[in-house]
Chain A
């Protein structure tokens, strides 16, 4: 696949965000806030960073793999998969509807191309990604494994087991990004269960190489992801702290946790779409 430039990624991100809002509005449920916040990153992953094959094979030999741990941002995941050729874009309209392959949270159960494990119950994706990365090593497959997790999700204890495991076993073909938007369902992450000293120091202490980036700047995303790639194979798993804003860039959706799991009504949808140019055609 042709690698998109930062400018092309910005255009695709706008379309992906339109998909997200229209999908969530269409079924009157889902999680728009985190989906919008991660749209720039996931677009960059699927249209530039990763070497992947839309002719989906579960085993993913000799291609980069991606695992979404915070499965509730399924709308953005489905959009980038469809837009990069895994399944027809028109199928996005079936999101969360009966008999759909686009379940509320991603699943392999309905055989949607691009999904390699179910996620939704939080805290499991880093373990799965670490396992897949180990398998790549056993297969002498030099491609990489990527994962995305939420920041509220880091409260789940299994993540810390996985952090210890990946560092101990020197799983250095694994790049985990955390969506640090500071929000979770009951409020800010600081209010709900503060992580104490910051996540960067914690992950460093767990033996990971930690990088930081602005999750809404495609040039910064590409630069950081390339830096991460050049640091694979050096004995440490890589953790990227990505600062985002939930709901970005829709003005009335930013700055609070209100839009974590609420669908916009007709007027709100029109308002939001007015802020996001239709660049590649709505589904």
Chain B
């Protein structure tokens, strides 16, 4: 690990001010950043510990939603009674990710900002455009079983690894920040993340020194929710494909509205809006949901090792909505 200096921020303003110095990074739970520092993928010169900032509350928002402090642990968020009742897909997504120890330590803001687990990103002896811009992408021609089939470019096919963020993507979460040139702003989660295109070193549209302070979930949309994750092991494994689904159907079994977000297949948590629109107004049937699966991966591109993810995503989507319609 490279040497760094460390400070514990006394309040949000102090944290944001300290972040102006070159090479400064915020650290909260540290489960991903410290891991990456050990292998010298991350080399911050200065760490600002934000884990004690008073951002640990989950509060009802004025519009009936829920505002989650950025330092709320993954465990506490998953176990919150309001989340379990109103946003069960979020609890499911969280408890299906990582291990209990990691969820106890990891923060909400940190989970959103965790970096890819592409093996070439971790291996400093190999080219990787995300780690070292313009060095090349080893995954395109290499071992790419876990890599993305949606949103990739010639520069990068790294998957965004979060489960939590996939559920938040389906729930239209809003990210609140402090610092940066705008001194704080609200960002829809779909605009927090960016596709790699030519600059995969940037995972998000946050500015340097911008601190996530909270995440607000709008009131839960009508309908049943689920989070279905397919992985190599029954527990403690990243997704091959995960599906966050919300389905609302009327008395005549017509789809009033549907939402669909995917994990494990995209370079960012992936919202499948065309598939959602295609389901609206259709009869809730296996055929409708199979079509939704096909539409959702339209344009997906395999790279050999990860080709299987395309049919797997299609089928997992169909299964998730079929199961939801049986409950509705």
Partners in one complex: no
Q: List chain A positions with a Cβ less than 8 A from chain B.
A: none
Q: List chain B positions with a Cβ less than 8 A from chain A.
A: none
